[in-house]
Structures are given as structure tokens and as C-alpha cells.
Amino acid sequence: MGSVQIVTTILAAAITAVAVWLAVRAVSKMVAVIRLGQPDPTRFGEKTSRATTMLAETAGHTRMLRWSVVGAAHWFVMVGFVVLSLLVLEAYFEVVSATGGLPLIGGWALYGLVTEWIGILGVVAIVVLIAIRLANRPNRAGRRSRFTGSTMWQGYFVEAVVLAVLIMGFVIRGFKVATDHFEYPTWATPLSHAVGSMLPGWESAVSIAALIKISISMTWVIVISLNVTMGVAWHRFLAFPNIFFKRQPASAGSGLGALRPMMSNGKPLDFEEADPEKDQFGVAHVEQFTWKGLLDFSTCTECGRCQSQCPAWNTGKPLSPKLLVLSLRDHAYAKAPYLLAGGGKDLTGEEKATAAQLAHVDVLALAEAEKPLIGDAESGGVIDPDVLWSCTTCGACVEQCPVDIEHVDHIVDMRRYQVLIESNFPAEAGVMLRNLENKGNPWGAPQNTREDWTKGLDFEVPRVGEVEDFEYLFWVGCAGAFEDRAKKTTRAVATLLNEAGVSFAILGEGETCSGDPARRIGNEFVFQMLAQQNVETLNEAFEGREQSKKKIVATCPHCFNTLGNEYGQLGGEFEVVHHTQLLAHLVSTGKLTPVQPVDGGVTYHDPCYLGRHNRVFAAPREVLGDSIKGDLVEMPRNSERSFCCGAGGARMWMEERIGKRVNVDRVEEAMSTGAKTVAVGCPFCSTMLNDGVNGKGAGEQVEVVDVASVLLRSVRPEQAPGTGEQTPVAG
């Protein structure tokens, strides 16, 4: 070992020791912060499914590859990062000796070949990612970048380090080639040999280059260890547990569909025994999120995919799912010294720590602890109320997140506290909630008018209890029973089921609201009141039937989702299908035969709670494909990336005062296709898009109509006027 190697070895050991010490300290801090969260025992089951999903999403990049170029580039960078770890390890042998290398595998030509090409493709990939970041930098005029709000220097730093380490790998190999100490043939490592042909035969350069490579790598470790909220770097490690512990490991959209139940001390809250002074009602403080919530916040990569898909953000609202998560993350870590010292408020608002415990807590942490979780700029709140109430719970953020952050659950948990404890929510939504409590429907319509939609039909609609048997219970829903446009869809579905010979029955006045708007706005109490009533009614209707014959068909995706995914939390297990699924089956089996194709061009709007939340994309398109003349014209944003109508999350009953109206944005996209008919599969979407069309003054040119009505026009064109769907619908 020469003098150069002695110096490089000492320096490499010193910077590594500092980096390791800081990294251990940083990891300990992160673990301590995450453990401050509430228990969530549901995250530990289905270990095989969890492990399989984690490997598929990480090694297979199944979520990232939805963004083809970015996903492919990121995959090569990820693989390059793993290989980089081996090459950095190899550099520790190279600082000691110019001929050093990894033991056992270091001399294999296959190892040289694989690492060479991963290095080459890694360089190309990181350059692509750098170019994408530069092209989408937030300060470019007129561009709503997905990186807006991200800490840009951190992204540039991480990408620069990756590029520098990859380049230094080829420099080291080049010097080994130049000094005739390289063990791999030219065919396996062509770039390394090409670099070596341009470098001098200076043996000490190998050790010096290895020291530079180690220094760059350890500087990266030091920087991220001093910045525990640097998600763009830490996600490389945290993504694995965050994906492993996702809520529904076997689901294509974990965190979508059913909402997480309202929890207290790791158990679902029982309202019959709950006590606000002993039980947690939603989330009022950051430490009241579960440990998985705090892990979510820590894992955020700041990539902005959620932000780019969010209907609120895209229409000028203050909500960005990314910025919401980052605000919660930064608040949690800033408040952590206070919490770790024993600080915190109990459920009555009293301080839990003694003065002695808080005596040495940093003043900034104490100040952070005084911030309300929800509050405007004047009160210094972490999350502005306009941010919280802009969410439509459409799930676009959850769908796009590459590390499976469950934004919707966190937003609704914060809403729950605001509604149930603070009674602090948009005033106009109060009318809806009172109607649900007093009338059993959000419009406040008399219960004895629930069956008025059946009047004028040329067949009898049977009621449960009036017929001995039926195949499907037709869940009409509040919109389908009371809202004029939705009633036309209800009539069309009933007519088609009757035409196909499907035996069905309705609950009539025995049906009440599914509870979806109450639950999404945060009023879990009203939701459970309505849901328990419905579960009791449905169980009675299906009494004596085996599970496979407890079948419900619903026209509203919100009811479809609630009955099928959430009533199981309250003892109601049913097989629920959306009407488009049943109609597609009836057409494919020949029980319904379209005879007159609908002309004029048709585009389809995917309802969030049918498509993204429940993965029903094909059925409505199959029905339309059989019913129309020509091909379905798809909007640019469709299927998983469909844009929300603006009505979900109880937004249907709240005024939209900030930015552009979400439904107008969607209507403009639909109209850009040139289609004369916009087909929908949801009464909320029908209302919102109809209002948007009429707001654009295009009611005479574009018609919004349900998929069922399109099919009815094709199956029984002479009956279409009877459904009230032949002429454009007024707003």
C-alpha cells in the first residue's frame, strides 16, 4: 500500500464513519416520529400478499410504468441505485489498492457485463429524468408544473449525485484499463475500455477516483441524514415498508373504494359506547394519525403525480394532495421534539406533559405544537379549511401515487373531527346533513314519494314483500328516486330489466340514503345511523338466502360503492353490481338485443366511484359499443385517469367559489371530442355535466345521458320518449 492509498483509505474511512453515524441517528429519529402515531393492527395480516405486491410494485415498477417514459427511466435509475451500492462497496477495495475489487464475483465477466450496461442505461435514464425536471420546473411561465411546491434543490441534488457516481464508476474502470489492471474483456465492458483509452496510465488515480466516488456517495448520505424530511431521497428506503403496509395489498387501488373506518385506539369506533373525552373522533392533531399515516407523510417523493391529476388543483383550488402531505410531514417532524418529550394534548385539550418535561424542548417545537391542524393563515393552521373542503375524494391522487400514500383516508379523518367535534364545515352542507337525519335523503324530499318514478310505466314494478322471489334487489338510491334527470335513468333500467325478463324488486319507502355523502363529508355518526338501518332492512329482505343470492343492482356508483364495500363493516355482506355491469351481461347473453344504433358520436365519462374506485371500466363501454353507430370517442382523460365531475366527497351540496368549476373543465374536454352525446353512469355526474353543458350554452348541441338510456334507445327506440330521454335535458 503506497502513501496515496494510505491517505485515501483514511479519508474514506473517516467520511464513511461520519455518514453512518448520522444515518443511524436520522433513522432512529424517523422511527421515533412514526411510532408516535396511533395503532393500526389491520396492517399486519396477509403477509404473503403484501410481500408479493411490494415486490411487484418495486422491482416490477407496476405503478411507475403507467407514466411510460418516466417509469422506464426511473426503473433503470432504481436498478442502477442497487448496483451503485455494489460499486460503491467495490470502491472501498479500490481506495486500498489499484487492483482491488469485490471478492468472489469481482472477476466474473457476467458481473462486468451487467454492471456496465446498467451503468450506461442508468446514465441515460438519469439524464432523461433531469431533462424532465428542468422542462417542468415550476418557475416557467404559464405552466402548472407537477413540481410546484416541491423542494427543487433536493431533486437536483439527488439526480446530480446519481449521475456523478455513475460517471465516477466509468472513470475508475477507465483508469484500471489504462493501467492494465482491468479484469473484464472489451466485449463485456465496451464503454469502460473506451474511457480507458483516453486516460493516462496513472496507478494512483484509481484510488483517488475511488475516494471521490465514496465521498460523493457519503456526502449524499450525510445530506439526507441532516434532512429527514427529504422524501425525494428517503423514499428509496421507505417505499418498501409503505407499500408493504398498504391498506388493501391485494387490491388494484389500495386506499380506494371503502373508506377506512373511524378508529380509536386501533379499533373501529362504536358510537353507542363512544365518549368524546375518552375516544378519538377523527384527527385533531398530527399525532392522532396512525403510524401508517406518519409513514405515508415521510415517504412522499414530492413527484407531484397526485397534484397533476387532482381536479381541485387543476381548476385553481388551493388543494394539492402533494402539498397537503408535505405540510403534514413538515409539521409532524417540527413538532416531534415536543411530542417525544412527553408533550401533547389529551382528548379534553389538557396538556399531558409536566413543565419539567418541556423545559428543554426547543422553542420552535413548542411554537409548532400550538398550531391548529386545520386553520386559516390568520390562525396559523397547518392545513387551510379551503384545502380540506376542496377535495372531491375522487381518488386520482391515490391512484397515481407510486408509493401508495392514502390521501383520501387522511383527508376524511381530518374532516371527521371538524364535523363531529368542531361543527366546522361549509354552511350549505348543513342543509344536506339535516335532510339526511330528518328525511333520509339529501334533498329533503318526502319519503312517500320514493316510488313516484314508477308511475306511467307499462309494467308493474314489484316491491320486496309483495313477491315471493326475485333475482336482484334494485337499489334505486336517493337521486334515482327524487332527482328528475336521475329518475329517467331509473325508469330506463327498470324497463330494460323487464324487457330482459330479469326478476327484480325494490324496497320503495323502505329504502333510505346509503350514507355516502355523510361519510365523505366526515359525519360518521349520520352515516352509521343510515347504514345500520339499511343493513337491517336488506338483511331482512334477503332472509333465508345463501350469500351468493343476496344480489343488488344499483344505478348510483356512490351507492354501489357504499353497499358493496362499506356495509360489510356493519354486518351487511351483499353482492352488488352496477347497472352497466348487469346490462352488459344481458346484452352479451342475448337477453337484450340492440336493433337501432344511436348516431351522432358518443363519448363516455368514467364516474370516479365506478371506475377508479371500483375498477369498472369495460362494462359501460361494452354497452355503448353495442348501442351506438361507429366507435366510442374517448376523452383524453379516461379510465384510471378520468377527470372528476366535481360532485364527490359531498361537494354536490357545497358551493364552488374558488377557481374554475370542475364540471365546466370536464364538459369542455367532452365537447372537444366533437361527440353529440356524453354518456354517463352516475346521477351525480349527470347533474354536474348537464349543468356544465347548459352553462356553456350548448344544451341544443350536446346531450348528457345515462348509458342505460342509450341502450334503451337502441333496444326499444319507439319507447325512448317514454323515458323522457329523447330530447336534450334542461339544466
**pLDDT above 80 (res 724):** no
CA-based R_g, the chain, Å: 30
- pLDDT tens, 200-233? 888 888 889 999 999 999 999 999 999 999 999 9
**Look-up of cell digits 379499533:** 267
Count Cβ atoms below 10 Å from residue 236 Cβ, excluding itself.
Answer: 16
Q: Residue 391 and residue 380: Cα distance in Å, rounded? A: 21
User: At a CB cut-off of 8 Å and minimum separation 6, what does 430 contact?
Assistant: none
Domain ranges of the chain: 3-24+63-229, 263-421, 429-715
How confident is the model at residue 730, as a pLDDT? Answer: 32
Between residues 374 and 103, the one the model is more confident about: 374
Count Cβ atoms below 10 Å from residue 528 Cβ, excluding itself.
Answer: 23
| Percentage of residues in the chain having pLDDT higher than 70 | 97
640 to each of 49, 243, 325, 606, how far by Cα in Å? 23, 20, 22, 8
pTM (predicted TM-score): 0.92
396 to each of 91, 346, 420, 457, 529, how far by Cα in Å? 43, 35, 26, 39, 29
Query: Is 137 exposed, middle or buried (CB count within 10 Å of its CB: 0-12, 13-18, 19+)?
Result: middle
Assign 89 a pLDDT band (cuts: 50, 70, 90): confident
Mapped onto helix, strand or coil, the DSSP state of residue 185 is: coil
**pLDDT above 70 (res 722):** no
Mean predicted confidence (pLDDT) in 341-352: 89
- pLDDT tens, 123-167? 999 999 999 898 888 886 555 788 888 899 999 999 999 999 999
Query: Is 265 exposed, middle or buried (CB count within 10 Å of its CB: 0-12, 13-18, 19+)?
Result: exposed
Assign 78 a pLDDT band (cuts: 50, 70, 90): confident
**Look-up of cell digits 441524514:** 225
What are 125's three cell numbers? 435514464
- pLDDT tens, 265-281? 899 988 888 888 889 99
Q: Residue 638 and residue 661: Cα distance in Å, rounded? A: 19
Which of 70-79, 87-96, 531-540 is predicted most confidently?
531-540
Q: Residue 154 and residue 232: Cα distance in Å, rounded? A: 7
Assign 187 a pLDDT band (cuts: 50, 70, 90): very high
How confident is the model at residue 719, as a pLDDT? Answer: 61
What are 317's three cell numbers? 383550488
Amino acid letter, 678: V
How confident is the model at residue 108, as a pLDDT? Answer: 81
- pLDDT tens, 477-516? 999 999 999 999 999 999 999 999 999 999 999 999 999 9
What are 659's three cell numbers? 377557481
**pLDDT above 60 (res 566):** yes
- Helix segments in 136-230, DSSP class H: 152-178, 190-196, 204-225
